[in-house]
Amino acid sequence: CERRPYACPCPGTSCKLEGPLDDVLNHLLTAHKTITTLGGEDIVFLATDIHLPGAVDWVMIQCCFDHYFMLVLEKQERHEGHQQFFAIVQLIGTEKEANAFRCVCVLASFANSMPCSLSFLSIHCSISSVICSNDCLIFETAMASYFGDNGNLAIIVTIYKTSYY
């Protein structure tokens, strides 16, 4: 149901937000002041210090086509000592609106790149459910190191509008 209360979609937090969809963006921008917002269809999501130990989340907001998208890079330890990265892009909007967009994420370094096309999900889906369903870009620590530069990883995110809802 599109009218159900939304919880804060920001990973790694224990926010008490539970309210209408219209409150989510304002909450993210005011309660999570460390989240950077960039405008445009093409942006560079820069995750710094990717070699930090343990589970880590990087979050950014992208604004284009009069919509806001939450970009998340999450590092998890999946098995003993084995870490994986999960890149997720979600529309801060309804599932119907999310179907009108597509996204290409590109891991980029000076000489190489690896593109991945993603369908959009709304923030109706939790980050953990997106990861469990493999509906995101998944890569290993070695790949992050290969594309990284001095512990920083650039992901080029391009959002396309494919239809109207």
For the cut 90, the answer to whether the pLDDT of residue 134 exceeds it is no
Q: Is 159 helix (H, G, I), strand (E, B) or coil?
A: strand
Q: Which of the four pLDDT bands, split at 50, 70 and 90, describes residue 156?
A: very high
Number of domains forming the structure of the chain: 1
Domain annotation covers residue 7: no
Domain annotation covers residue 87: yes
Domain annotation covers residue 42: yes
Alpha carbons 146 and 31: distance in angstroms, whole number: 34
pLDDT digits (tens, 9 = 90+) for 57-103: 999 999 999 999 999 999 998 777 789 999 999 999 998 999 999 99
Q: Output the pLDDT for position 149.
A: 92
Residues 86/139/121/22 CA torsion (nearest 10 deg): 30
CATH of the domain at 102: 2.60.210.10
Domain annotation covers residue 2: no
Quote the tokens at residue 31: 């309660």
Domain annotation covers residue 28: no
pLDDT digits (tens, 9 = 90+) for 107-123: 988 778 888 888 778 88
Domain annotation covers residue 78: yes
Selection from 78, 29, 26, 75 nearest residue 48 by Cα: 75
What is this structure's pTM?
A: 0.90
Q: Which domain holds residue 142?
A: 35-161
Q: Output the pLDDT for position 2.
A: 61
